[in-house]
Amino acid sequence: MAGGPSTPALVAGAVEAGAFGFLAAGMVGVEALRARIEETRALTEKPFGVNIFTPSARSAVDLGDYRERVRVEAERYGVAAGEPEWDDDQYAAKVDVVVEARVPVVSFTFGLPRARDVARLKDVGTSVVATVTTPAEARAAVEVGADALCVQGAAAGGHRGVFQDDPAFPGGGPLYDLLPALRLIAAETRLPLIAAGGLSHGGDVAAVLAAGAIAAQLGTVFLRCPEAGTSAVQRAALAAGGRETTVTRAFTGRPARGLVNRFIAEHPDAPSAYPNLNNLTRPLRAAAARAGDPEAMSLWAGQAYPLAGDAPVAEVVAVLAAQAEEAVVAVARRLGVTGAD
C-alpha cells in the first residue's frame, strides 16, 4: 500500500502473524526502498514481498482546463500546484534493488514487467506476481511468464491495476467483480490466483479460497493498524464511516477507489493522465493533510472499509485466520459434508 500506509512494521507484523506481506515500492525513492527492505529484514526473518509500479505509457497528455482547476484548488490551501510531469517511478532501478536484495516474491501493478525483468527475477529465484483486473490482462500476464496472478476485483481500495487506463471507462476498463473475474481467469490459466478486493472478514478469505484462489490479498483492513503509516486525517475519516467509496481519476489521473470527498465530487471528469495528475495535485493533497482537511486529499479505501477496525496487525491476521476456519466448518456442515463435525 504505497503512499504512506505501507511500513516495515506493518509488513513484518503481518508475516510474523502468518500472513504474507508486501512492502510498497511505489512512490518511494530507490534508496528509501533499499532501506525499507533492510528495516523489514531487521524486524523479521520471515520472507516478504515487494510491490512495484510499472510505468504508464508516456503520451502527449491533454489536461484541458484541469491544470487551472487544480491551481485554483491549491491556492485555497495556500500552496502552488505541482508540475504535471510524467515519470516512471524509477521502475528499472527498483527492479535492480529487488534483484540485488533477492526478494522472494515481487508483484507488479499498472501493467506488466518487461520480459527481461521477469527473466532476471526468475534467475535469482524470485516469483513474479502480476496484478490483473480482466481476463484479457490475465492472458497477457501469462504470456510474459508471470508465476502467479493477483486478481483485483471492483471493490478493491486504492488504484485499479489496469494495464492501460481507458478513458471510455470510469474504472479504466471493465470493472469485474472479484468472483466472476476469478472464475473467468481460472478457465484460461492454471497459474495460481491471489484474490483481492473488498475482503474484510475471514469468511471472505474462505470464500475466495473456495472459488479457487490460493490466497486472499487484503489492503483496507490494515489501514488503521497502529503499525500502518496511514495519516491521522485518513484514519479519522475511515473511523467516522458514513461516506461512500467511488472510483476516481481526480487525484492521480488513474482510476482509484477511495472515500468520496469534496474534491472528488467537484472533479468527476478528470483526464486520464497518470502520473501527471499525481504530480500536479501532490502539493494540494499534502497541504490538505497538514490542515487536517479530508476534503482535498486522497482517502484510498475499499468498499468494505466500514468493517475495518484499529487492532494491531497480528490481531487482524489472527482474527481473519480464525474466522476463515470457522467459515469453512460452517459451510461444510451446511453442505452436509461427511466428517465436518
Ligand X SMILES: Cc1cc2nc3c(=O)[nH]c(=O)nc-3n(C[C@H](O)[C@H](O)[C@H](O)COP(=O)(O)O)c2cc1C
Which strands, in side-by-side order, build the sheet including 193-196?
22-24, 49-53, 105-109, 127-132, 148-152, 193-196, 215-217
Reduce the secondary structure of 106-118 to three states and give it as a string.
Answer: EEEECCCCCHHHH
Residue 289 in contact with ligand X, rule: CB under 6 A = no
Name the segment binding ligand X (CB under 6 A); options: 11-19, 56-64, 191-199, 259-267. 191-199
Name beta bridge partners: 245: 259
Q: Is 111 in the site for ligand X (CB under 6 A)?
A: no
State residue 24 phi and psi, 5-degree precision: -80, 130
Contacts of 329 (CB under 8 A, 6+ apart): 340
Answer yes or no whether residue 24 interacts with ligand X by CB under 6 A. Answer: yes
Query: Is residue 26 involved in binding ligand X (CB under 6 A)?
Result: yes
Q: Exactly one of 111, 135, 157, 172 binds ligand X (CB under 6 A); which one?
A: 157
274 binds ligand X (CB under 6 A): no
217 sits near ligand X (criterion: CB under 6 A): yes
Region from 68-76, 120-128, 260-268, 298-306 binding ligand X, contact rule CB under 6 A: 298-306
Q: Is 316 among the residues that bind ligand X (CB under 6 A)?
A: no
Q: Which stretch binds ligand X (CB under 6 A): 93-101, 218-226, 261-269, 285-293?
A: 218-226
Instruction: Considering the complex, state which of residue 5 and residue 113 has its C-beta at the smaller distance from ligand X.
Output: 5
Contact between 219 and ligand X per CB under 6 A: yes
216 grid coordinates: 486472499
275 upstream amide cis, omega within 30 of 0 = yes
Residue in 120, 114, 158, 119 with CA at minimum distance from that of residue 140: 114
Nearer to ligand X, 220 or 261 (CB): 220
Which residues fall within 8 angstroms of residue 295, CB to CB, at 6 or more apart? 261, 262, 263, 288
Piece of the chain touching ligand X by CB under 6 A; list 120-128, 155-163, 270-278, 309-317: 155-163
Q: Are 274 and 256 in contact (CB under 8 A)?
A: no
Site residues, ligand X (CB under 6 A): 1-3, 5, 24, 26, 51, 109, 131, 152, 155-158, 196-199, 217-220, 300-302, 304
